[in-house]
Each structure stands twice: as structure tokens, then as C-alpha cells.
């Protein structure tokens, strides 16, 4: 992906990232679940303004924003929108593609569908830690590659974001329809489909 891809609106980027390939060295997977976060809504870390934690979010697009969640897990985001605007896409789940044995070793679980079906799990499987916060997604150790054949325009499911208490009504979670690697099942009745993208 190029810089212009990330410089667009965060919701649009979140949708387009489903089907792309997230890679860190020998391990890679197809992105099947994303969430958009924008400084204008309180669930986004950037909502509090420019701080030591959030300055990456306000920096130039196409950078990694990695932070520690619940003291245990590293969560990976792709910074989007113009420099000066705090926005990022949280990657919530992958379908494992390359380096599965390495992933199993790091995760300690055998089942392929358990390797990357959660935001904290995929960072463990791909060995993405806090030292990669701020790293460049264009030419750095972490890269996001265009969709492989068959993943060019997956049908998307849309719903509310997971695990937040503020701005929980926004339908900013996007998921590849039919993937068995999503992090959590879709609440009945909240599910809605989005037409395949062109």
C-alpha cells in the first residue's frame, strides 16, 4: 500500500484494509476484521488531544501505533488521515497465511483458527511489540500488502466496535463475511451487511 491509501478517511481505510495482508518478517495473515478510531469520538485515544501516548496518532499516516492493553497485550493500529489529525485503524483479526509454525510456537496453541482471531493474539503470533510503535509501514519491518487473488473485494459485515464503553453506537467495525477467524461472533440483530466494494 502507498501513503495516499492511508491518508484518506479512517472509516474508508478500515473497510479497504479487510482483505489486505499484514506482514511482519516471516509471518503474515489476511486482515479479516478492523475497527476505525477517530479523534472526534471519545473511544479514540486521540480524543484527549496531543500527549506522549497519542502523538503517533497525530503524526503522518502509514505508521504503526502499538500500545499495551490491560497491561498484557500489544494492540496494532495503522495510523491514517492527514498529519495533525488523530485517527487509526485497529487490526482485530487475521487469517494466518505464512509462518504458521512460527505462530504456533509463539502462541502455544495448535489450531490455525486460534492463532490470530483477536487483536492481542495476532500481535503475539506476528511478534509485534511496543518497540514497533511509530515504525513506518512503508519500508519498515511491518508492511501491509495488497489483497491476494480472491480477496480483492470481500463482502463486509458492519457492526459496533468491541470492548468499548464510549461511542459504542458507531458502526465502525468491519469484518470479512464468512471468515472463521473473526475475533468474536456477531450479535444477533446488530448484524448488517455492506455491499461488496468495487
Partner DNA sequence: CATGGGATTGACT
Partner DNA sequence: GTCAATCCCATGC
DSSP state of 175: E
**73 touching DNA, by CB under 7 A:** yes
User: Alpha-carbon torsion 173, 155, 4, 145, what sign?
Assistant: positive
Query: In this chain, which of 3, 40, 69, 98 binds DNA, going by CB under 7 A?
Result: 69
Q: Which three cell numbers stand for residue 193?
A: 451487511
In whole angstroms, what is the distance from residue 181 CA to residue 179 CA? 5
CB 102 → DNA: shortest distance, Å? Answer: 16
Range list of H helices, 50-153: 55-58, 100-107, 119-125
Of residues 100, 164, 177, 194, which one binds DNA by CB under 7 A? Answer: 164
**What's the number of CA atoms in the CB half-sphere (13 Å) around residue 4?**
0
Residue 107 engages DNA in binding (rule: CB under 7 A): yes
Contacts of 134 (CB under 8 A, 6+ apart): 56, 59, 63, 64, 65
Q: Which of 1, 17, 33, 54 lies at the binding interface for DNA (CB under 7 A)?
A: 54
Q: Please state the closest distance from residue 198 (CB atom) to DNA, in A.
A: 28
C-alpha cell, 122: 495476532
Using the minimum distance from each CB to DNA, give the nearer residue, 184 or 197: 184
CB of 93 to DNA, least distance (A): 8
Considering the complex, state which of residue 32 and residue 75 has its C-beta at the smaller distance from DNA.
Answer: 75
How is residue 58 written as a grid cell?
Answer: 497525530
In this chain, which stretch among 119-127, 135-143, 145-153, 189-197 interacts with DNA, using CB under 7 A? 119-127
Residues 30-49: x where in contact with DNA by CB under 7 A, - otherwise, as a string: -----x-x-----xxxx-xx
Measured CA angle at 113 (ends 139, 171), to 5 deg: 70
Among 3, 129, 130, 192, binds DNA (CB under 7 A): 130
Where on the chain is the footprint of DNA (CB under 7 A)? 35, 37, 43-46, 48-49, 51-54, 57, 65, 67-73, 75, 77, 88, 90, 107, 109, 114, 118-121, 130, 161-166, 183
Amino acid at each position: 500500500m502507498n501513503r495516499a491509501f492511508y491518508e484518506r478517511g479512517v472509516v474508508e481505510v478500515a473497510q479497504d484494509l479487510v482483505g489486505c495482508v499484514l506482514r511482519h518478517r516471516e509471518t503474515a495473515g489476511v486482515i479479516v476484521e478492523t475497527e476505525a478510531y477517530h479523534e472526534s469520538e471519545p473511544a479514540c485515544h486521540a480524543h484527549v488531544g496531543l500527549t506522549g501516548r497519542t502523538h503517533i496518532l497525530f503524526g503522518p499516516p502509514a505508521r504503526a501505533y502499538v500500545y499495551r492493553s490491560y497491561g498484557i497485550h500489544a494492540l496494532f493500529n495503522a495510523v491514517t488521515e492527514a498529519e495533525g489529525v488523530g485517527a487509526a485503524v485497529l487490526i482485530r483479526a487475521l487469517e494466518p497465511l505464512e509462518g504458521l509454525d512460527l505462530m504456533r510456537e509463539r502462541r502455544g496453541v495448535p489450531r490455525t483458527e486460534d492463532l490470530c482471531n483477536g487483536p492481542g493474539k495476532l500481535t503475539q503470533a506476528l511478534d509485534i511489540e511496543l518497540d514497533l510503535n511509530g515504525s513506518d509501514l512503508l519500508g519498515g519491518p511491518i508492511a501491509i500488502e495488497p489483497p491476494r487473488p480472491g480477496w480483492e473485494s470481500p463482502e463486509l459485515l458492519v457492526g459496533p466496535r468491541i470492548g468499548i464503553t464510549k461511542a459504542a453506537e458507531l458502526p465502525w467495525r468491519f469484518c470479512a463475511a464468512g471468515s472463521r477467524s473473526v475475533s468474536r461472533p456477531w450479535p444477533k440483530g446488530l448484524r448488517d451487511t455492506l455491499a461488496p466494494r468495487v
